[in-house]
Copies of this chain bind each other. A is one copy, B any other.
Amino acid sequence: MQAVDQQTEDQPTARVRRSRLSPERERELHEAVVEMLQEVGYDALTMDAVAARTHSSKATLYRQWKSKPQLVATALRCTKPVLLEDVDTGSLRGDLHEIARCSEPARERDMALMRGLAQAAHDHEDLQEALRELLIYPEIDALNALLRRAVDRGEVAADAPALHYIPHMVCGAYVSRQFIEAKEPDLEYLRDFIDAVILPALGA
């Protein structure tokens, strides 16, 4: 997965972009965008409607977020309950269980959004790029930093082949529960998946 590592370097994250709105106002806008995305889906979401709903001017929206795909990707990232880079419990198992625990409140929202976005991202290349740049790569960077700490602590061999596939395993764990078992990936399932699959694959 060298490709992923390379591509994720030097990517701007949502948080380094200079803001001309207060953080509270920015958060309000992000939350409104996610709500609208849930209500009408990506295709029917317009910058006009976002402007009307949030009592903003379209000029402000475009100045701050540049485009609809970037606004959507940034909103999804900034409304996550906890960012991966804030997770550091001191052990790999602790970190992974903490990520599962923190993702619990937004799980149902995220599953529905992902279903809709999978098709939209396929139809719109600019959305696919924005999601990757502003949402997925920053998460993978944070996950890789967390894994490097586990390697530094001696919990995982630096050359464990599964290290490159942790994002794939985490993503797969979410999607496949619904697909195979018609159940939400709840906390108990995610914890068991971590202990039964991810840690053994890493030899941890």
| Residue ranges of A at the interface with B (Cβ–Cβ < 8 Å) | 1, 3-4, 115-116, 118-119, 122, 128, 132, 136, 140, 161-162, 164-165, 167-169, 171-173, 175-177, 179-183, 192-193, 195-198, 200-203
Contacts and interface: CB of A to CB of B under 8 A. Distances in A.
A181 B119 contact: no
Nearest to A192: B161
Contacts of A181: 1, 3-4
B180 A168 contact: yes
A52 B4 CA distance: 47
A41 to B, nearest CB: 10
Nearest to A199: B201
Nearest to A185: B168
A193 B201 CA distance: 11
A195 B161 contact: yes
A169 B197 contact: yes
Contacts of A203: 200
Of A4, A181, A192, which is in contact with the most chain B CB atoms at under 10 Å from its CB? A181
Contact of A171 (B118, B128, B175, B183): B175
